[in-house]
Amino acid sequence: MSGDLSTTAAMPAAPPPVHILSFDVEEYFQVEAAAACVPRDTWDSIPRRLEPAVARILDLLAARRTSATFFVLGWVARRDPDLVRRIAAAGHEIASHGMEHRMIGRLGPEEFRRDVRDSRRMLSDLAGQPVLGYRAPTFSVTHKTAWAIDVLAEEGYEYDSSVFPVRHDRYGVPEAPAWPHRAVGPGGGSLLEIPPLTLRLAGMNLPVGGGGYLRLLPVRVVAWALARAEDAGQRGMIYLHPWELDPDQPVLPMRRLSRWRHRVGLRRTAAKLAWLLDRFRFAGVRQCRDALAAAAQQTFTYGSPA
């Protein structure tokens, strides 16, 4: 191969952008939709199922030399510190999913500050790497809880991935930018914000980039959204939970709609993830943070809630 760049030969096309792959590491019974039927004080009595599902993900990623960001719940890290060490030792980024999977609005600013400070310290110590990122339980950074952006910036976090730019009954900031951008809290604190992948159709952002959406939709719709991101010179962010690769998990006594949302497509998640990994390039946030920060041209400023 010639290293001479002064020739008139056409330069090879730039490689497509690397998309972001992320996992929220929590047990299947810790989802918000199960809060009413699986009280927190019973969590320790329920057999944990996380470890084999995480091992499956680590194998899928290792086979494709792909790295990812793992937003680990503090509750999980306390009970299985070796799991955090193993994920980090496999070359992945460890980030925070808070301590106890409480929605931000129920914590309030001071409790939230303690939560993100404690989880950051614990995870950094276990992983032997600085923790840069945070994802709120159930994407619970909204207009009402945008003070969280100020708190995260003050506590030393560099990025957040908790704002879903869609309409939904539990979360969402539909007018927030759909691509990585700077988010500015009502107090002036600023962070890189990495929203989940959406597909713009009929003037609306449709959620496609993870969880139940990825399980429900044909994988080609997700691929289409990723290809459209590439056409726009942007990166999509995919998120999944290890329990979504565990189809044999016990059925929780949730309300019917919640149970359907939780279980739809569980048997196909692993194959869909592998299919996407074989066709698109992915990495964790840390690995492309400089490029992400440079590309985040847009700024979205939250006002104080009325």
> Which residues bind to Zn ion, rule: CB under 5 A?
24, 26, 137
Q: Report the 3 state secondary structure along the chain.
A: CCCCCCCCCCCCCCCCCCEEEEEEECCHHHCHHHCCCCCHHHHHHCCCCHHHHHHHHHHHHHHCCCCCEEEECHHHHHHCHHHHHHHHHCCCEEEECCCCCCCHHHHHHHHHHHHHHHHHHHHHHHHCCCCCEECCHHHCCCCCCCHHHHHHHHCCCCEECCCCCCCCCCCCCCCCCCCCEEEECCCCCEEEECCCCEEEECCEEEECCEHHHHHHCCHHHHHHHHHHHHHCCCCCEEEECHHHHCCCCCCCCCCHHHHHHHHCCHHHHHHHHHHHHHHCCEECCHHHHHHHHHHCCCEEECCCCC
What's the closest the beta carbon of residue 137 comes to Zn ion, in angstroms?
5
Residue with nearest beta carbon to Zn ion = 24
What's the closest the beta carbon of residue 213 comes to Zn ion, in angstroms?
15
If the CB atoms of residues 137 and 185 are measured against Zn ion, the closer one turns out to be 137
If the CB atoms of residues 24 and 246 are measured against Zn ion, the closer one turns out to be 24
If the CB atoms of residues 239 and 280 are measured against Zn ion, the closer one turns out to be 239
If the CB atoms of residues 97 and 286 are measured against Zn ion, the closer one turns out to be 97
If the CB atoms of residues 138 and 287 are measured against Zn ion, the closer one turns out to be 138
